[in-house]
Amino acid sequence: MTDASASFDPAVDAPAVPVARTKTGTVGVISWSALALMTVSSVASLRPAPTMAVYGLACVFLYLLPAVVFLIPTALVSAELASGWEGGVYRWVTEGISPNMGFAAAWHQFAMTIFYYPTLLSFVASTLAYVIDPSLASNGVFTAVVIIVAYWAGVLLSLRGGIGVVAKLASSGVLIGTLIPGALLVVLGITYLLQGNPSAAPMGAGHFLPAWTGIASIVLIVSNFGAYSGMEMNAVHVNELDDPPRQFPKAMFVAVALVLVILILPPLAISWMVPAEQISLTAGVMQAFSAVLAHFGIQWLTPVIGLAIVLASLAGFLTWLSGPSRSLLLVAKQGGYLPPYFQRTNAAGVQENILVVQGFVTTVLALLFALVPAVSNAYWIFMTITTSVYLLVYLWLFVAAVRLRRLQPDHPRGYRAPALPLLCGVGFVASLAAIAISFVPPSQFGSGSPATFVAIVGGGILILGLIIPYALIKLRKPTWQLGEAEAAS
Partner 1 sequence: MSHRTIYIIVGAVVAVLLVVMLATFDYGTPNKDEAKANDLIAAYQDAGLTNRLDAEQLAKLLGDDGGAVCQAAADLPSGHAVRGYVKLRFGVGGEFYFRPTRLDRNLVARSLLIVKTYCPDQLPDVRNFVDGLRLADVNGD
- Given the complex with partner 1, which of 418 and 446 has the nearer CB atom? 446
Q: How far is the CB of 348 from partner 1 (least distance, A)?
A: 10
- Given the complex with partner 1, which of 97 and 262 has the nearer CB atom? 262
Q: How far is the CB of 265 from partner 1 (least distance, A)?
A: 14
- Given the complex with partner 1, which of 33 and 299 has the nearer CB atom? 299
Q: How far is the CB of 169 from partner 1 (least distance, A)?
A: 7
Q: How far is the CB of 242 from partner 1 (least distance, A)?
A: 19
d(CA 91, CA 78): 12
- Given the complex with partner 1, which of 140 and 339 has the nearer CB atom? 140
Q: How far is the CB of 392 from partner 1 (least distance, A)?
A: 13
The angle at the Cα of 399, spanning 398 to 405, to the nearest 5 degrees, equals 90
Query: Distances from the Cα of 352 to the Cαs of 151, 152, 261, 427, in angstroms?
Result: 14, 12, 35, 34
What 3-state DSSP class applies to 414?
coil
**3-state secondary structure labels for all residues of 62-113:** HHHHHHHHHHHHHHHHHHHHHCCCCCCHHHHHHHHCCHHHHHHHHHHHHHHH
- Given the complex with partner 1, which of 102 and 210 has the nearer CB atom? 210
Q: Which long-range contacts (CB under 8 A, 24 or more apart) does 341-348 make?
A: 343/480, 343/482, 343/487, 345/487, 345/488, 346/159, 348/159, 348/160, 348/161, 348/162
Q: How far is CA 172 from the centre of its chain?
A: 18
- Helices (runs of H) and strands (runs of E) counted in the chain: 19, 0
d(CA 112, CA 344): 22
d(CA 114, CA 295): 39
Q: How far is the CB of 266 from partner 1 (least distance, A)?
A: 12
Q: How far is the CB of 6 from partner 1 (least distance, A)?
A: 30
- Given the complex with partner 1, which of 62 and 251 has the nearer CB atom? 62
Burial of 20-59, coded b for 16+ CB within 10 Å and e otherwise, reads bebeeebbebbbbebbbbbbbbbbbbbbbbbbbbbbbbbb
| Helix, strand, coil abundance in the chain, percent, nearest 5 | 75, 0, 25
d(CA 479, CA 94): 21
Q: How far is the CB of 475 from partner 1 (least distance, A)?
A: 30
- Given the complex with partner 1, which of 304 and 422 has the nearer CB atom? 304
Q: How far is the CB of 429 from partner 1 (least distance, A)?
A: 17
Instruction: Say how many C-beta atoms besides its own lie within 10 A of residue 488's C-beta.
Output: 12
Q: How far is the CB of 446 from partner 1 (least distance, A)?
A: 5
Cβ–Cβ < 8 Å for 348, 70: no
- Given the complex with partner 1, which of 439 and 470 has the nearer CB atom? 439
Query: Distances from the Cα of 271 to the Cαs of 56, 259, 266, 411, 474, in angstroms?
Result: 5, 19, 9, 48, 52
- Given the complex with partner 1, which of 257 and 407 has the nearer CB atom? 257
DSSP state of 331: H
- Given the complex with partner 1, which of 97 and 256 has the nearer CB atom? 256
Q: How far is the CB of 237 from partner 1 (least distance, A)?
A: 17
Label residue 162 left, alpha or beta by phi (over 0 means left) and psi (-120 to 50 means alpha).
Answer: left
What are the residue ranges of helices labelled H in 296-449?
Answer: 302-322, 324-335, 352-371, 373-407, 420-437
In sequence order, the 6+-apart residues with CB closer than 8 A to the CB of 296 are 188, 191
- Given the complex with partner 1, which of 334 and 386 has the nearer CB atom? 386
